[in-house]
A and B are shown apart, each in its own frame.
Chain A
Amino acid sequence: MRTSVGEPATAADATGSRRSWALVVLPVGVVVVAVAALAVGRYTVPFDRVLAILLGQLLPLPPTWTGTEATTVLQVRLPRVLLSMVVGAGLAVCGAVLQAVFRNPIVSPQILGVSSGASFGGALAIILGLGYAALVTGAFAFGLLALVAVYLVSRVGGTAPPLMIVLSGIVVGAFFTALVSLLTYLADPYDELQSIVFWLLGSLATATYAKVAVAGVPAVAGVVLILALRWRINVLSLGDEDAATLGLRPGPTRWLLLTTVAAVVAGAVAVSGVIGWVGLVVPHLARLWVGPDHRVLLPVTVLIGAAYLTVIDTLTRTIGAAEIPLGVLTAVIGAPVFLLLLRRSRRRMWADA
């Protein structure tokens, strides 16, 4: 994408077409991925029948499908696919927002300890024998607490050096992870221990429409708010002082965004445990494709995130005889992909890494 001074028009066309292409291709891609994910599995439903079943819910179509197929698609796979799309899109866009707010391209909900904080909050609710609402609330409260702690600790004399942010995140994350270990040690081994461990493993296998709602409401609301602020996020990523002299009040905007991130991550952690790497890898993929302008980057990140986690979750239940834990596969795929991106795109994605 480097062009010489003499040919700005070519560069403009390239960037422009790249951007519009992404926003046309991606929604189609997400639908294709979703339909494919509904079709494949131990019991394969033909592609056209999946479409017919879905359309049959909206239109009065003559049933060309069997009852088993309808049950598999609508009751077993659809909640899981919806959940993977919601969680993937939410985690990915949260990663992109955190990278902008902290002005640091290597942060994500997991690296900043938000996921650990949220899992502690959720585990605490389980130990105390509180209900599902408390699990979600606890996840949100401690996720936000972790984020605020990282933000305050990493600020040295008004600025936050990138290394300091990452170190604070690792420390805060380790602290909450230790607290989670303490809770599992204290937990009743016949009842609570199982639910905590099972929950923390990170899985979408127990998806229900209720869980789709739990993760979906904060994710959809959060994505709407974040997309509404997408241009402000550009200005905010210049740094507080630049933003302030340009007429933006950085404080309120940042806290609104951090609170939103905590809510979306809490929703995701509550239904699926800790799923790493999505919030780091997907924004980088998106930035490599359409550049750093958040007006385009954020919608592209949402769409890639939805497709990415759906593909990986479908792999967990199709490539082996037994289901592979989702958290394991996101890391096994995410880590090498991220390293590849790092090496290939250092100079294009960031000003100066």
Chain B
Amino acid sequence: MLELEDLGFAHPGGDWLFRGVRHRLRAGEITTVLGPNGRGKTTLLRCIVGLTAPTRGRVRSHGPIGFVPQSHQTTFAFRVLDMVLMGRARHLRPFASPGRHDRRIALAALDRVGLIHLAERDYPTLSGGERQLVLIARAIAADGRVLVLDEPASALDLRNQGRVLHLLRGLADDGMAVLLTTHHPDHAVEIADTAMLMFSADDVRVGPAPDLLTEDAVGALYGVRARTLAFDDGGLARTVIVTRHEPPEPGSSNRPVPGSRPPVDTGGARHR
């Protein structure tokens, strides 16, 4: 569905932000991109959706990519349904306005994210979580099979984080290919099939999320000491990753560390 071929980006005259990024995202799969601030997650996403030209390599996609930016304010107070309708832009001729067919698709998309009851509200009056869901509905209405999201859960409270993550898992199970960035390793553990860890410009690792998201790897990625906690969530094996309150050892921060298995068994920890 989505293929990144040797993707690299450097600011003109500057060092590589990342290079040699290869990944193939299949239908029904979720990839989460993790990395500290400034490591290039957002730039990578911009290269994927075509907002920034990659310095080298290329992106191949089956059909258009639906992009969900971080929830934002609009200049004008459009209604929620009108916002979602704008997802139809690429299917309409330049002088056309959306018709009944587009309206049905937009309403179905709103229903899919569970906000059909807010269709007539003004978009700016919604909460941050609701706005994020509206932007996801807009991407769904665009009829793409690939969904790319920039930190969809970052600015949300706990309940809304769960709502968005659950929705994304459901969309993938419906056959979409989903790629998102996140600051929460837990989110990756919870919904992702694949994780992409951006350690440094030349060291971007991609692999099955449970294998890659070890204590050592997460600790090295963010320059902290991480701890994996496994527990039984009503019969479901789950894992969370927490930071430990110890100063990092000198020289150990921000250094790529070979991935190792965590001390506790996290196999099958994904929660669907």
* Chain A interface residues (CB < 8 Å from chain B): 1-3, 5, 8-9, 11-12, 15, 100, 103-105, 228-232, 234-235, 237-238, 241-248, 253, 287, 291-293, 295, 348-352
In the complex, the answer to whether A351 meets B73 with C-beta atoms within 8 Å is: yes
Residue from B65, B91, B120 having most chain A Cβ neighbours under 10 A: B120
Answer whether residue B64 sits at the interface, using C-beta atoms and an 8 A cutoff. yes
Extra 4 A-B pairs, beta carbons < 8 Å, given A231-B98, A234-B86: A8-B120, A237-B75, A246-B86, A287-B76
Chain B interface residue count, CB cutoff 8 Å, equals 38
Q: From known contacts A103-B75, A242-B69, A293-B78, infer whether A231 and B120 are also in contact, taking CB-CB under 8 Å.
A: no
In the complex, the answer to whether B67 meets A232 with C-beta atoms within 8 Å is: no
Q: Which residue of chain B is the closest to A294 with respect to CB atoms?
A: B76
Instruction: Identify which of A1, A8, A248, A350 contacts B89 (C-beta below 8 A).
Output: A248
In the complex, the answer to whether B79 meets A293 with C-beta atoms within 8 Å is: yes
Chain A residues, CB < 8 A from B117: 5, 8
In the complex, the answer to whether B77 meets A348 with C-beta atoms within 8 Å is: yes
Instruction: Identify which of A245, A253, A351 contacts B77 (C-beta below 8 A).
Output: A351
Q: Which residue of chain A is the closest to B68 with respect to CB atoms?
A: A245
Answer whether residue B159 sits at the interface, using C-beta atoms and an 8 A cutoff. no
Give the docked Cα–Cα distance between A352 and B75 (Å).
7
Give the docked Cα–Cα distance between A248 and B78 (Å).
18
Chain A residues, CB < 8 A from B122: 1
Q: From known contacts A5-B118, A241-B69, infer whether A229 and B77 are also in contact, taking CB-CB under 8 Å.
A: no
What are 13 A-B interface contacts by the 8 Å CB criterion? A8-B120, A232-B94, A232-B95, A237-B76, A245-B50, A245-B65, A245-B69, A246-B138, A292-B77, A295-B97, A350-B76, A351-B76, A352-B73
Answer whether residue B96 sits at the interface, using C-beta atoms and an 8 A cutoff. yes
In the complex, the answer to whether A231 meets B96 with C-beta atoms within 8 Å is: yes
The smallest C-beta distance from B161 to any residue of chain A, in angstroms, reads: 21
Chain A residues, CB < 8 A from B158: none
* Chain B interface residues (CB < 8 Å from chain A): 49-51, 64-65, 67, 69, 72-79, 82, 86-87, 89-92, 94-98, 117-125, 138, 142
Q: Which residue of chain B is the closest to A295 with respect to CB atoms?
A: B97
Q: Which residue of chain B is the closest to A14 with respect to CB atoms?
A: B120
Give the docked Cα–Cα distance between A103 and B270 (Å).
43
The smallest C-beta distance from A284 to any residue of chain B, in angstroms, reads: 12
In the complex, the answer to whether B77 meets A15 with C-beta atoms within 8 Å is: no
Chain A residues, CB < 8 A from B72: 242
Q: From known contacts A231-B98, A237-B74, A292-B77, infer whether A8 and B86 are also in contact, taking CB-CB under 8 Å.
A: no
Give the docked Cα–Cα distance between A283 and B94 (Å).
23
In the complex, the answer to whether A351 meets B124 with C-beta atoms within 8 Å is: yes
In the complex, the answer to whether B76 meets A230 with C-beta atoms within 8 Å is: no
In the complex, the answer to whether B98 meets A245 with C-beta atoms within 8 Å is: no
In the complex, the answer to whether B79 meets A245 with C-beta atoms within 8 Å is: no
Give the docked Cα–Cα distance between A140 and B82 (Å).
35
The smallest C-beta distance from B101 to any residue of chain A, in angstroms, reads: 14
In the complex, the answer to whether B86 meets A238 with C-beta atoms within 8 Å is: yes
In the complex, the answer to whether B67 meets A229 with C-beta atoms within 8 Å is: no
Chain A residues, CB < 8 A from B125: 2
In the complex, the answer to whether B76 meets A12 with C-beta atoms within 8 Å is: no
In the complex, the answer to whether B82 meets A246 with C-beta atoms within 8 Å is: no
The smallest C-beta distance from A101 to any residue of chain B, in angstroms, reads: 11
Q: Which residue of chain A is the closest to B78 with respect to CB atoms?
A: A292
Instruction: Identify which of B74, B78, B98, B119 contacts A12 (C-beta below 8 A).
Output: B119
Q: From known contacts A245-B50, A350-B76, infer whether A235 and B120 are also in contact, taking CB-CB under 8 Å.
A: no
Q: Which residue of chain A is the closest to B130 with respect to CB atoms?
A: A5
